[in-house]
Structures are given as C-alpha cells and as structure tokens.
Chains A and B, each alone.
Chain A
Amino acid sequence: MSDLNWLTIQQARDLLATREVSSVELTRSCLERIDSVEDRVRSFITLTPEAALQQAEAADRMLADGTASPLTGIPVQIKDVMCTEGVRTTCASRMLEDYIPVYNATAVDRLFRQGAVMLGKGNMDEFAMGSSCENSAFHPTFNPWDTGRVPGGSSGGAAASVAAGEAVYALGSDTGGSVRQPASLCGVVGLKPSYGLVSRYGLVAYASSLDQIGPIGRSVADCALALSAVAGHDPRDATSLPGTPPDFLAGLEDNGDLTGLRLGVPVEYFAEGIEDGVRQAVVQSITTLEQLGASVREVSLPSTKYALACYYIIAPSECSANLARYDGVKYGFSEQQAEDVWGAMEQTRQKGFGPEVTRRIMLGTFALSSGYYDAYYLKAQQARTLIRRDFDAVFETVDALVTPTSPVVAFPVGEKTGDPVQMYLIDVSTLPVNIAGLPGLSVPCGFSEGLPVGMQLIGPHLSEPTLLRVGHAYEQATDWHSHRPGL
C-alpha cells in the first residue's frame, strides 16, 4: 500500500498539476491496491484496468498540454447502474449480465470529458434495491472496517472502494439513502444532490421521482468537486433543472466559522431504534457545530413516521412500471423455452430478477392495481405532500437539519437478509429526503464499537452550498474523515 492510495481528489490534483505524480502512476497504485484487497472487499463487478491505463495516458497528455480540469487523471469507480459505452452495465442483475451500453450516462460522459480515469464498475444491490449490497446477483461487498459486516447499500461497492483505498472517489446513486447510508457505514462522505441537479440520462431507472446520482469521497471538498463536474442541465432528462449551477467548491474556502447559521435537530430522528453509540456520536457532533458558531434548536417533523410507508409504496410502484421494460425482447436476459410470447416473458422475468427486485415489482403492482390504487398509491402521494410541507415549514426557521445518517452502524453479513421489513427500517432517516427532493450530505462523525458513524445534513432544495460549507467546517474541526481501516 502506498500513500497514493489515501489521497483526496484535491491532493491528487495538486500532485498531478505539479507533475510530481503522473496519472499512470496514480492509476497503477489504485490497481495494485485493488489487487491486494479486492478478494476481501469485492467492491467491483467489472474491472477495466487496460481502459483505465489508456485514460490515464490521455489524462497525462491533458496535464502536459494545459487542458486539464480538476478531475483529470483521477481514478474513479462508477456504480454499475450508470451506462458506460462499451463496458457492460449489469445493475448487479442476471437480467443485464451481458448488457453492453452503446452510450454513456450524462454524468459519466461529463467525468470522461474532464479526463477522469474509470477503474471499473461498482457492486450494488440489484437494480439499486437494498441497504446492504447483499442483493447483488453476483457477490456481496464487504465493509473495509470489518469484512464480516456489510458496507451498506445500495451503493455499497462505491463506498467500500473509497474506504478501502481502491478508488479516489466514486459515483453512486441514491433513491432512498443509497449514497448516504453506505458512505456512513464505511466512514466516507456521501452527497445526495437535490432532485433535478444531476442528469439521470443513462442511469438505469428504479424509481424515477426519487433517483439521483451523487458522489462519494474522502472529504466534503471532494464531493463538491465531483458534484461540480456532473451537475447541470441536460436536455435529455426532462426533470433536469434549467440554468447553470454554482461552483460548489468555491463556498468552502472560508475559515470554518458558522456564526449566524441556524441548525435544527428533528426529534423524530432520535427516537427508538437508534443505537446508543450512534446517538452519542451525533449529539457530540452537534456540540462541535455549536462551538463553530452555529445556533442549534430542537424542531419537529411530525409526518416523519409516515415516510417509510410512503416510500415503500411510491418506490415499488415506480419500479414496477420502470422494470416492465425487461421483457427479454430488446436487450438483457431472455428465456425462450416457453410456447408463447407471454410464457417466455414470465420465465425471462422469473429467472432474470432476484428475490428483492421481484418483491418490489409485486408490491408496486399490487399498490397500483385496481381496487387498491386509492388506498395505497394515492394515499402515499398525499403523505408525500405532507412530508414536503413539514420540511418547508421547518426551513422557515432553520437553514439545515442535523440527524444520524443511519440509526445503526454496519451490521453483520446475513443478519437482516431474511426479514425485508427490518432491512427497510435502516433507511428511515434518509428516505424522507428523497421523498421531498432535498439534498442530503453524510459526513463521518465518530465511531461506535470501532465502526464508523455518519451525521446527515439536510437542507432546502438547492442548498448544497450550505450543506457543503457546514460539512467542510465540521471536517476541519475534527479528524474522523482521516481515519483509515486496518484492512
């Protein structure tokens, strides 16, 4: 293991800019680290070392001729839910095991245009449905802090690769917590941007009204840099916001003084189910934020208790419609033993989808079916309105909220796989953010029983500059983000 394996994007960029290190050297060090730890971590579904070294050589030319951008030459892992031209994109599903996209997702394209180096595609729960990375059709990913435990999910590969020193940063996706929760469980930073800030074009759809692409990194500033690269309007995504987003790194250059900032602590997020060690770490972090000058008050989001039900009706409903496209006709796995077209379709879907995906498709089909639509889907959409109103009301009096990212630290592999409801409860603090379309940032804020704890910052729509500023100030005042697993 070399020092190069623990660089932040900013540190790597400085070494590359002064030519102390080349992108090829940096990429080789990542590939060597992958060689030595990947059999224990298993964060990748597909490794692309040759293509990575070619991209690194091209990046070194950009660095030499003065056309480099902030991410030029820096190795990244891409969650296998984003299309990569010519590189298979499986969504961790048998259904897409051999699917090779003919185009890049917009977010991937934007990284590549900056000269990014893709190491490979990250493991995940199948079709991004899960909270532990155990729903991958190929293999689980293991937490670098304790390989007997899960890394969280669904972007478990992304978070584990950054925490294990394999990749400098990663791109994940977050529908109910899938960037923030694994970042929290792996002791790295994860950002779920406001709905519409990052194009979803080329992101394999799970629940379109909730899905957002977001970065995972070793520092808040790294997430700001990666977000700046991928954010911005894309005519290919009708939900992409118009206008030009700000430079998200620019707001972080201040001295870390949070005087004047109003923080809210929602009581509902500290209720039963939260582990003592997690509560203590987050409470301690709130004290730190106060010492930095922020004012803190208790607030209430009374509709929080409806968020889990709301999410597990809306997300599966949208999933049942989105995943109707996997019919064995246009692409993907296809089983043609049956006599007729419908039989072939049913067998294709039976064999192509894993248990959790089937469960959610069935759940969504039920919630949308005749006789149940009003009781479930419509009711959930109304609950969604009330959850949004709660946030709107609370943001009249505070600038951001502080909560735990996950009520628990990384749990043992296999502990929750038999009980879907227990697994769903893990995301109780993150899913309201997606329901309301808000940004959420998870920052390492301590340890409980040797395992990382994450603090979540939530703000109004497009308040990323505020969240990043608070997270960065907190990071400067603490050293949690610089702890490394003894892998």
Chain B
Amino acid sequence: MPLDRAQVRHIASLARIGISEDEIEIYVDQLSDIIDQFEVLNQLDTVGVEPTGHAGDLRAVMRDDEPAGSLTPEETLKNAPRREGEFFRVKAVLDE
C-alpha cells in the first residue's frame, strides 16, 4: 500500500476537505490502487527530458493595458453565501 491512514488524513487536511474515519479507510484503498497504476512511469527514462506544462505553444501573452468594463460589485457579490455591504463575509481568520 503506497498510502496509510495518516497520509490520507494529511492529504485531506492539505486539501481542506473534511473526512470521516470510514472515508479514510476507503481512500486508503482506492488512492493506493490508483497510485499503483503510476508505477509504470518508473520504466520511463526521463533523464534530460524537459517537462511539458501544457500543450499550447503560447507563452506569456501580452496585451495593451487599456481600461475596460468589468463586473460591478453587485454582480460580483450576487452569488455570495454571506455578505455585508460590499464585502464577502467570513468567519474570523485571525485569533484575538
């Protein structure tokens, strides 16, 4: 098994996804099965091979810095679960 319970718990915390004890068990099995499939890549000689980030050949697309319209604050906040005036409302981020 490439992954154990502690690792799955750690990954979930990095991903900020709550996870139950039962789910941890399932993910240990399923993620390990999938990661086992990745072993095939070890057969591949990649010494000196440049990585490809994406298949497009465009790099650093530039445009003129011209003012243009954008969403209004009202539009931007339209789907906000909680708002206060023109702000998204969240629970306190900093300790007192």
A interface with B by C-beta (< 8 Å): 98-100, 102-103, 195-196, 208-210, 235, 238-239, 241, 303, 305-306, 308-310, 312-313, 320, 324, 327-334, 336, 338-342, 344-347, 349-351, 353, 358-359, 361-363, 365-366, 369, 376, 378-386, 388, 420-421, 424, 434-438, 461
Contacts and interface: CB of A to CB of B under 8 A. Distances in A.
Given A345-B16, A365-B15, 13 more contacts: A102-B75, A210-B55, A306-B41, A309-B39, A330-B88, A333-B81, A378-B51, A382-B44, A382-B52, A386-B44, A421-B37, A434-B55, A438-B55
Nearest to B39: A309
B78 A100 contact: yes
Nearest to A235: B63
A384 B51 CA distance: 7
A351 B18 CA distance: 8
A334 B27 CA distance: 24
Per DSSP, are chain B's interface residues mostly helix, strand or loop, or mixed?
A: loop
B30 A420 contact: yes
Contact of B56 (A195, A342, A379, A420): A195
Most buried by A among B12, B75, B88: B12
Contacts of A336: 81-82, 91
Contact of A239 (B39, B50, B56, B79): B56
Contact of B58 (A238, A333, A340, A361): A238
Nearest to A320: B15
A98 B79 CA distance: 8
B69 to A, nearest CB: 11
Per DSSP, are chain A's interface residues mostly helix, strand or loop, or mixed?
A: helix
Contact of A209 (B3, B41, B55, B92): B55
Nearest to B94: A341
A345 to B, nearest CB: 5
B14 A306 contact: no
A331 B88 CA distance: 10
B6 interface: no
Contacts of B91: 336, 338-341, 344
A359 B76 CA distance: 30
B16 A342 contact: yes
Interface in B46-92: 46, 49-56, 58, 61, 63, 71, 75-76, 78-82, 88, 90-92
A341 B17 contact: no
Nearest to B40: A309
A467 to B, nearest CB: 17
